Amino acid sequence: RGVAASSFLVNIEMEKKQQVIQGRVVEVVSTDGASEEKKEEDARPAASRARAAAQYGRLRELEDLLESELNVNDRDDEGCTLLQWAAINNRGAVIEMLLAKGADPKASGGILDENALQWAVRQGHVAAVVSLREAGCEAGHKGVEGGNAVHLACRYGRHLALAYLLARDEVFFSPLDKKKKSEESPPPSGA
């Protein structure tokens, strides 16, 4: 054991190894074996850093990026908005901040051309579904696969999201259904 550990330390000393951790912290191991952490600027483009911040709920980092480098409705290389990334990852505080800063709740994107509400429904994030729908995210928007938010809730067994959407909106009921109900005569007196 002692020989293996010594050999390992010698290799570290010879290489003066550097390791990047999450693109933010660099650990430098010096030749004497001491380790120190240094903050370094993230080399990734601002859009990539913002997407990661929205995905992981790093609110302060995202706010800083939006104040200095990005527009709240910018899209990444996949055509997705920050609001969509926050929705699929159930980042409520990020969703609220983005909406307050003017994020377009009706924006759709990605390979499925779905909006943030559809992303939240797919994952069953009911709090995000409520926030997005109340902000004006379109429940009736159909993506590439032809499904709206209710279709997705049914397909993925997201019962609470489905119940909320059906209780909140009449958009899912055909005007013909309403007309038929109003034209029906009352049941006969003997029924």
Residue 142 has pLDDT above 60, yes or no: yes
| Nearest Cα to Cα of residue 125 among 85, 161, 96, 93 | 161
| Contact between residue 162 and residue 153 where contact means Cβ atoms under 8 Å apart | yes
pLDDT digits (tens, 9 = 90+) for 30-57: 445 554 544 445 667 888 999 999 999 9
Query: How far is Cα 12 from Cα 166, in angstroms, rounded to an integer?
Result: 61
| Nearest Cα to Cα of residue 69 among 98, 45, 52, 39 | 45
Output the six-digit token pair for 106. Answer: 């009706």
> Which of these ranges, 108-112, 119-123, 167-171, has the smallest mean pLDDT?
167-171
Q: Looking at residue 160, what is its pLDDT? A: 97
Say which residue, 17 or 188, is predicted with more confidence: 188
Angle of CA points 153, 107, 102, to nearest 5°: 115
Instruction: Tell me the range of 25-39, 85-99, 172-186 where mean pLDDT is highest.
Output: 85-99
Residue 133 has pLDDT above 70, yes or no: yes
Q: Looking at residue 63, what is its pLDDT? A: 96
pLDDT digits (tens, 9 = 90+) for 143-167: 999 999 999 999 999 999 999 999 9
